[in-house]
Structure 1
């Protein structure tokens, strides 16, 4: 065990964190206006948009991974366009992993933000409009500062979910060292070669990281709620 810890490769973990960080940043800017729109709109299209944004939760990773792989391959219009005009191949590289992760983790950013926006007192939003603020100013200056727990939950859960991705990542990126071989894929390969000791070590690290991430969310939300109710002195 000591020898394994000494020879532990941190590359897959660093790659997982890099992927999760980039995905979380992209999804924040993409999901913020989408979640705000879904929380405010009364359009008949709202249920359809909500269903589409939540689809990655219920779809098997193999199904989602297959369609993303097909859409990004050089045989598809999107993949062919990027390959021909920019010289960028969107599969079996880090760029493809980021795109796939954004699709797979979208609902984990959208839903907490939408729930947070929907919990805001409507009078506060209306007062903002009455005072002359437009929709963007209301979103950034009024709504966003009042959903800190939801905002933190969305960011951290999206990050943690991306770190733990496996099926979609494996199908779109494969297992290329220092390029697409993230921690979850490394664990899978250890199991394949019956190296259970290494698989235990990598899995234990992932469990600890996931626990710390979730614990930080619950601790922050608990303290925020106590301050909000005036219990915390």
Structure 2
């Protein structure tokens, strides 16, 4: 049976993944659209920054965020000076780190989807006097729905599986910053393999079902030509 701490870790993990994915879609969509269409010279540098979490060890990224969000860092120090609290070892700090860590898993699928659409549909909508926002939401978004589905799934699943970044930024505070991946590590460290098996199996089954659903929906979209 799952313990109270395990249920709390599951709740925090799902909340973190949900909030992170929503923020990533809001921030990543315009960024991916710009990357797919721009010819700017510094596009390569922006793409490199977005892709950094793919090659950078999570503990390195987590360490720099811990320094930045701590009471003596540029972000945490500013918040303290304004009468607030530093973001290190808080749920909000986990969100900040998770957004940065999962950014490429949302931006890159969206960028590929936008690039695959081309300029033809947008130009056709423009000739019908559709405004920029109208063109984007009525033409681009429906055509890129497979990219949005993939981006949402990868962003959510990648956040659920985080360990190094969340451990560095949030520590291991039960009921506040302890996520499932850290709870599993705690169970293994305490030789509680039964609990570790239960949590790991739950994540394994959920991840498998999530991926099967995504592949099935993408196949269906492909069959109907979307």
Do the structures match in fold with TM over 0.5? yes
Offset, 1:8: 7.9
1-structure distance, mates of 2:73, 2:86: 12
Does residue 154 (structure 1) correspond to residue 151 (structure 2)? The answer is yes
Alignment equivalent of 2:8, drawn from 6, 11, 14: 11
Q: Which runs of 5+ in 1 are unaligned?
A: none
Looking at structure 1, the residues matched to 93 and 223 of structure 2 have their Cα atoms a distance apart, in angstroms, of 42
The equivalent position to 2:195 in structure 1, one of 198, 203, 225, is 198
Q: How does 1:1-233 map to 2 (within 5 A)?
A: 4-5=1-2, 9-228=6-225
Query: Residue by residue, what CA displacement relative to the aligned partner does 1:148-198 show, whole Å, maximum 9, x if unpaired?
Result: 111011011101110110000000001111110110010011111121121
TM-score, normalised with respect to structure 1: 0.92
* Cα distance in 2 between the residues matched to 1:215 and 1:86: 47
Q: How many residue pairs end up in the alignment?
A: 226
Q: What does the per-residue CA deviation read over 1:24-58, in whole Å, with 9 as the maximum and x for residues that have no partner?
A: 11111000110000011111111111111111111
The separation in 2 between residues aligned to 1:199 and 1:159, in whole angstroms, is 22
- Paired with 1:23 and 1:83, the residues of 2 have a C-alpha distance of 24
Q: CA deviation at 1:61?
A: 0.3
- Structure 1 counterpart SS, 2:200: helix
- Give unpaired runs (5+ residues) of structure 2: none
